[in-house]
Chains A and B, each alone.
Chain A
Amino acid sequence: MRRNLFFILIIFVSITFIARLFYLQIYNSKPYSIYEDNAIGKVYTYPKRGYIYDRNNKLLVSNQPSYDIMIIPGLVTKMDTTEFCKLLKIDKTIFKKKFRITSNYSKKIPSVFLAHISKEDYGSLAEKIRKYKGFYIQKRNLREYNTKVGANVLGYVAEVNRRDIKNDSFYSSGDIIGKQGVELSYEKYLRGEKGIKFIQKDRFNREIGSFNSGKNDITAIAGSDITITIDSELQEYGEKLMNNKKGAIVAIEPKSGEILSLVSGPSYDPNLLVGRDRSKNYFSLFKDTIFTPLIDKSLLSNFPAGSPFKIINGLIGLEEGVINENSTIFCDGSYIYGKNKKSMKCHCSGGYKNIYNAISESCNSFFAETYVKIINKNSNINENFDDWSVNVKSFGLGDFLNNDLPIGKKGVIPDSEFYNNWYPDFRWGALTTLSNSIGQGEILVTPIQLANMIAVVANKGYYYTPHVIKNIEGDSISNRFSEKKVTKINKKFFDKIEIGLFDVFINGTAKQLKVRGIDICGKSGTAENFTKINGKKTQLTDHSIFVAYAPKDDPKIAIAVVVENGYYGSTWAGRITSLMIEKYLKGDIKYKIRENSVLNKSLYDEYIKPFSNKPFTINKL
């Protein structure tokens, strides 16, 4: 025993130590992560956010430096707040509020204390901020708009909110995220990869150098530049034309589905939503409930399709064989239908109408007759109606287009089930739904759907999903935009309809809107619409709608224009359409009188009518 005691002691102690080490290092130890190690500071380096170019490689959006005052509340020591507030040019109450909010969020994680300080302030602050423990200045990139247009397409970036951080671990407080438009759709490409610098800290949380000589650091990867399909010149012109008018212009290159311009009227300068005055400007735009500039009408407004819808009914009629190019009706100014001899008014010149002059003169009676023939082609009305509905939808109506814009509306294209729910006794038919024949009634479309529809007509039977992305640096664009979507209508019927559409500009509703040297095919629309005033359904001045494509033989642009409460289709939407086509294909405008009449027109009086609380008249030129 006397000889062995020591050996026993050594073995016992060694085993105890190894067991303890096992407990500490293996059993009770989480896998090591440098990100969770509080001995290592993590400093993000922000990459350049990708630039945005237009289709002609004009730089639209770039970056400008911005300086934020950051705070780590846990490190803030007793300090002269009055002097500090004076330095930052803020109020003491704001200081207290911001300090409370940031420290409630986290005492250790840096938060933005004051965003976007000016370059001049940065100069004086950079020196003095060192005096205040827990505060530092962080440089980050802010968007710089080299254009005054396209706010709705470009969207905007903003600081991430708590939810963004929760949803995607990529972000941390103070980061910038795309909130709307292509900034949102292509956020993943534009943002790049943040870099991280690992800083060795000591036990007093002081930085004492880079960790492991910077070998673990991650360098920032710049975001990819993107090119969008928007023609900024055309966009600018469109926005100018839509000044003081509510509505939308959507122009598409039919052969590719590329959106040339996406105008929501009235528009606003994207520079308003950058920098320190952002919230002030945002609020004043938000407050404008007459023109609602923040609502992108090209994507979010449902309108009755109006007369352009006759094109589709004509095509379906031809395809289904219920009419042909020789079918003729006699129009005496109204279409009488049903047992009760209801009538549907027609504004055409009257007389015998076939498919060609019915289109060019927008004869209601002809298309009412056609619609009745389609729905009543045999006794199975439900089936016939669904066939019609499917055909209509094949033009991209009644559904989200699955484009690359983050917002949109479905529109409405009814099917038999829709009416079966409306009429529980199933007593409905062609005559009950006759308004559908002229694009009124239940049919609702968004301007982008309307533009896509006329692009289908321009292409004679197919379309590519409208999109705004043209090119992503270092990546390819989604292949869903190169997928041809084909309608069920035979190409030869499009040729026939085109004769009528071309005639619109020769003898029809838009004969005053010709552009010398360009063969335009188009269709006007004047859509009745209603609003509720104090719970009462009230009719407002008709929407002015126009769709067109040009040149006829090789369409380069398909366009839809909606001017809310602009009355006749040709009046405002038609003029805007022909001006846009002229601008795009010719480059400058010869028809100055036409241009000036549009530029000088404000429909403000029209828009305040429903808010005036006074009786008002509609449809007055």
Chain B
Amino acid sequence: MINQRKNFVKPDWLIITIYILLAGFGIGNILSSSISGEEISLFQFDNLYSKQLVFFMVSLLFAFLVMTIEVKFYERFASIFYLISIVILLGLFVFGKRVNGALSWYDLGGFNLQPSEFVKITVALAISKYISDFQTNLKKTIDQFWLFLIILIPVVIIILQNDTGSSIVFFCLFIVFYREGISQKYLLSILAISILAVFTLKFSALHSFLFSLIPTILFFFTKRKMNNKILKGFAISSLCLLTCFFVDYGYKNILRTHQQNYIKVWLNLEKDPAKIKKMERTVLYNLNESKKAISSGGVVGKGYMKGTRTMGNFVPAQHSDYIFSTIGEEWGFVGSTFIIILYCILIYRIVYLSEQQKNKFSRVYGYSTASILFIHFCVNIGMVLGLTPTIGIPLPFLSYGGSSLIAFTILLFIFIRFDANKINEW
């Protein structure tokens, strides 16, 4: 008991400081982007700003709760949590509420709960549990299969619920697997498939395939000591061909028009000026407005609550997914860079601390936390800056949204709890 109290005051204050900075900054910018020019009535519970403030209070409560619970509890109940969360996710098919086409919300009377945000925590716990299990050997194919299945189940459910953006997040966990000793072939394959996919979309399946032959041939001709050179080369080429045609097919037949358009915009595929003009009013609109708002911020920005495009609500969904454009406009290059550096330090710190964990469970969980934050950071800011395709996922701690703020807080504070406990592991 005495020990625990002592440990309880040993959390990593750097992470907590950054967390509070980001969440506070987020609330401030939500206030700026959700009101429009007029007087602010604080603590009126129908505006986004006050709601987010309440969510933050609730988050802090959860953070406190999370900190009081022992590490062993999470480790022991990881699988249960996972199963419960899958059930809740499946429950959406029956009780879910559709918002913007995605069936990913429970209506809890005034508060919409998005379970997919919380599934990130349980999946992180589940894979930590699985990987840290002494029976698990990541070199074995069967163990790899179970591991992938842990991820794949929620991914498939979420895709079926038409929330493709959220499902992409889980693939970042391959960074964790790689750290924990999975063969680098997987990572290289993902990289190769990504490159091939981009090539296929940009040029054509055939071009892309022909292009893939060059590294394949070079690779097998330079490696002298290898059996069945021709056969392996042929197999890989066939896989490439399959990938290329599958990507092409998927793009044309599986993706919806708006998703196709996001890709068209991202890779500059549309050449017809009339269609581009039309897209400027639809798909491109958000992106252009977001870029315009950021550009107009200049070096030091227009000042808090003085962003003309923010105040005029020029960027749709600016308080949620496009919150970074508010920062860009009102705080300029200086403020935006500061936020990026904060994220950089936060993720770096989590990874650094994870490496110091004596407990494998804690380490894997830390890595998972860092990767989940990292993929959100990459995809969200990349989208707002026009570098990555438009995928609607929130910016951790900053974006408006109760589910995401509470989920990210729990995700983070579980790790802080683990880290605070590391002395006990001696």
A531 within 8 A of B: no
Determine if B351 and A6 form an interchain contact, defined as CB atoms under 8 angstroms apart. Answer: yes
B343 within 8 A of A: yes
Determine if A200 and B312 form an interchain contact, defined as CB atoms under 8 angstroms apart. Answer: yes
Determine if A7 and B348 form an interchain contact, defined as CB atoms under 8 angstroms apart. Answer: yes
Q: Kindly report which residue of chain A lies nearest to residue B333, judged by CB atoms.
A: A25
Residues in B neighbouring A213, C-beta threshold 8 A: 39
The answer for the CA separation of A37 and B329 in the assembled complex, in Å, is 13
Residues in A neighbouring B39, C-beta threshold 8 A: 213
Digit string of B320-346 for contact with A (CB within 8 Å is 1, else 0)? 000000001000110011001101100
Return B74 CB to nearest CB of chain A, in Å. 22
Determine if B294 and A21 form an interchain contact, defined as CB atoms under 8 angstroms apart. Answer: yes
User: Known contacts being A2-B178, A17-B385, A40-B308, is A202 close to B314, with CB within 8 Å?
Assistant: yes
Please tell me which one of the listed residues B308, B341, B367 contacts residue A39 in the complex, with CB atoms under 8 A apart: B308
Determine if A14 and B344 form an interchain contact, defined as CB atoms under 8 angstroms apart. Answer: yes
The answer for the CA separation of A210 and B367 in the assembled complex, in Å, is 48
A22 within 8 A of B: yes
| Number of A positions contacting B (CB below 8 A) | 37
Determine if A9 and B294 form an interchain contact, defined as CB atoms under 8 angstroms apart. Answer: no
The answer for the CA separation of A428 and B347 in the assembled complex, in Å, is 103
A79 within 8 A of B: no
Determine if A25 and B181 form an interchain contact, defined as CB atoms under 8 angstroms apart. Answer: no
Interface-located stretch among B62-70, B231-239, B375-383: B375-383
Residues in A neighbouring B309, C-beta threshold 8 A: 37, 39
Residues in A neighbouring B328, C-beta threshold 8 A: 21, 24-25
Determine if A32 and B314 form an interchain contact, defined as CB atoms under 8 angstroms apart. Answer: no
Digit string of B290-313 for contact with A (CB within 8 Å is 1, else 0)? 010011111100100110110111
Residues in B neighbouring A210, C-beta threshold 8 A: 37
Q: Is the interface of B mostly helix, strand, loop or mixed?
A: helix
Determine if B179 and A5 form an interchain contact, defined as CB atoms under 8 angstroms apart. Answer: yes
B50 within 8 A of A: no
Determine if A24 and B308 form an interchain contact, defined as CB atoms under 8 angstroms apart. Answer: no
Residues in B neighbouring A410, C-beta threshold 8 A: none
Residues in A neighbouring B291, C-beta threshold 8 A: 24
Digit string of A15-29 for contact with B (CB within 8 Å is 1, else 0)? 011101110111011
B425 within 8 A of A: no
Q: Kindly report which residue of chain A lies nearest to residue B303, judged by CB atoms.
A: A212
Return A144 CB to nearest CB of chain B, in Å. 38
Please tell me which one of the listed residues B175, B299, B347, B382 contacts residue A26 in the complex, with CB atoms under 8 A apart: B299
The answer for the CA separation of A21 and B327 in the assembled complex, in Å, is 11
Residues in A neighbouring B337, C-beta threshold 8 A: 18, 21
Please tell me which one of the listed residues B298, B312, B382 contacts residue A25 in the complex, with CB atoms under 8 A apart: B298
Residues in A neighbouring B355, C-beta threshold 8 A: 3
Determine if A37 and B296 form an interchain contact, defined as CB atoms under 8 angstroms apart. Answer: yes
B36 within 8 A of A: yes
Residues in A neighbouring B163, C-beta threshold 8 A: none
Determine if B36 and A22 form an interchain contact, defined as CB atoms under 8 angstroms apart. Answer: no
Q: 4 shortest A-B CB distances, which residue pairs?
A: A209-B37, A200-B37, A39-B308, A25-B333
List 8 A–B pairs whose Cβ atoms lie within 8 Å, in order of A's numbering: A6-B351, A6-B367, A10-B374, A17-B387, A21-B328, A24-B294, A28-B295, A203-B314
Contacts A17-B381, A26-B299 supplied; 17 other A-B pairs, CB < 8 Å: A2-B178, A5-B175, A16-B387, A18-B340, A20-B385, A21-B328, A21-B336, A21-B340, A24-B291, A24-B385, A39-B309, A200-B36, A201-B312, A203-B316, A208-B36, A211-B308, A212-B306
